[in-house]
Amino acid sequence: MKTETTIQGLNASLSTARSNRKMIGFVPTMGNLHQGHLNLVKEARKLCDIVVVSIFVNPIQFGPNEDFDNYPRTLDQDCQLLADVGCDIVFAPSVEQMYGSQPRLTTISVSDITQDLCGLQRPGHFDGVTTVVAKLFHIVQPNFAFFGQKDYQQLAVIRQMVEDLNFPIEVIGVPIARAESGLALSSRNGYLTEAELETAPAIYQSLTEAADQLKSGVSLDAALAHIRERLTTAGFVIDYVEARSPSLKKVTDFDQDVVLFVAAKLGKTRLIDNLTVVYSSNGS
Ligand code: PAF
């Protein structure tokens, strides 16, 4: 496995693959890798000849009071994990390599679907994500790109950008990786205290309970109220608990597939999760 820190180095490493028209798979990450990221790499490994993983903590997707400075940076450990799952190239650029020293005058911004859910509490976040992902797509020029479904809204926003801007890239969403407790894996779980780690699985539990309620005929409003009540009692401060259609449209009833979304703070840590509930007209 090679590690490249410059765009020039990455181009040199990919030149033979590109001229031989090899399928390039790309997994963008901010590092501090866990099983969820490794699942993305394994999926890429199945479909592609060459797998590139980027590790870049992107400053422009963090708000002024967010955790950019404290975000865990564990490059050596990440490279070891990536070598073990068959990654070919790690691209780990500096901020200067990605953004240069001149002011950046261009932002890639997807409208509408970025204004809801996480977009409400994190203004500018998705512009930071789409701008860096567009840059990375131009730099790596992959055939396939892999994103986790835990960041459901991010995945939808990136799909929209790829469609709107004609990136010749197939975007693949990979299911959420969970701990045995049901807690969705996230680099931010590392911020949780031992006591909070015990409490955190309540998010997934409340989502599955709400899904069961919906399937047994409870209204969508009541199922969402159940999640709010359950999490507030457990000590979370709720950011949002919402239901949307799979394409992120507002829904009021469970008369189609719905995605239940939670964002909530436990102590200082903001956690997100989601669960798709499949609608069946016979209620099963
Ligand atoms: O999901 C992430 O880790 C980041 O938002 C991404 C897609 C790597 C862009 O910085």
Task: Give average pLDDT by consecutive 10-residue segment, the chain, 284 residues.
Answer: 98 98 98 98 98 98 96 98 98 98 97 97 97 98 98 98 98 98 97 98 98 98 98 98 97 98 98 98 65
Domain of 243?
187-273
- Domain contains 116: yes
Beta bridge mates, 275: 260
Based on the domain organization, do 213 and 104 belong to the same domain?
A: no
CA–CA distance, 234 with 226 (Å, rounded to integer): 12
CA–CA distance, 40 with 24 (Å, rounded to integer): 14
Closest listed residue to residue 89, CA positions, set 44, 56, 53: 53
CATH number at residue 72: 3.40.50.620
Q: Which of 116, 141, 174 is the last residue of a domain?
A: 174
Number of compact structural domains in the chain: 2
Based on the domain organization, do 170 and 193 belong to the same domain?
A: no
Based on the domain organization, do 167 and 192 belong to the same domain?
A: no
Q: Which of 174, 206, 238 is the last residue of a domain?
A: 174
Q: What pLDDT is attached to residue 284?
A: 53
Distance 54 CA to ligand 1 centre (A): 9
Q: Please tell me the residue having the least CA distance from ligand 1 atom 2.
A: 29
Distance 194 CA to ligand 1 centre (A): 26
Cβ proximity of 107 and 127 under 8 Å: yes
Distance 154 CA to ligand 1 centre (A): 8
Q: List the 258-266 sheet strands across, edge first.
A: 237-244, 258-266, 269-277
| Residue 34 one-letter amino acid | H
Based on the domain organization, do 18 and 137 belong to the same domain?
A: yes
Based on the domain organization, do 33 and 160 belong to the same domain?
A: yes
Q: For a pocket test of ligand 1, which of 39, 58, 90 has the largest count of ligand atoms closer than 8 A to its C-beta?
A: 58
Closest listed residue to residue 173, CA positions, set 204, 189, 151, 188: 151
Cβ proximity of 180 and 149 under 8 Å: no
Based on the domain organization, do 195 and 151 belong to the same domain?
A: no
Based on the domain organization, do 153 and 17 belong to the same domain?
A: yes
- Domain contains 181: no
Q: For a pocket test of ligand 1, which of 27, 30, 188, 272 has the largest count of ligand atoms closer than 8 A to its C-beta?
A: 30
Q: What pLDDT is attached to residue 281?
A: 83
29 C-beta closer than 6 A to ligand 1: yes
Distance 284 CA to ligand 1 centre (A): 36
CA–CA distance, 99 with 116 (Å, rounded to integer): 28
CA–CA distance, 235 with 228 (Å, rounded to integer): 11
44 C-beta closer than 6 A to ligand 1: no
Buried b / exposed e over 102-112, threshold 16 CB at 10 Å, is: eeeeeebebee
Q: Which of 124, 148, 174 is the last residue of a domain?
A: 174
What token pair was written down for 245?
A: 């259609």
Q: What pLDDT is attached to residue 123?
A: 96
What token pair was written down for 167?
A: 């990136």
37 is catalytic: yes
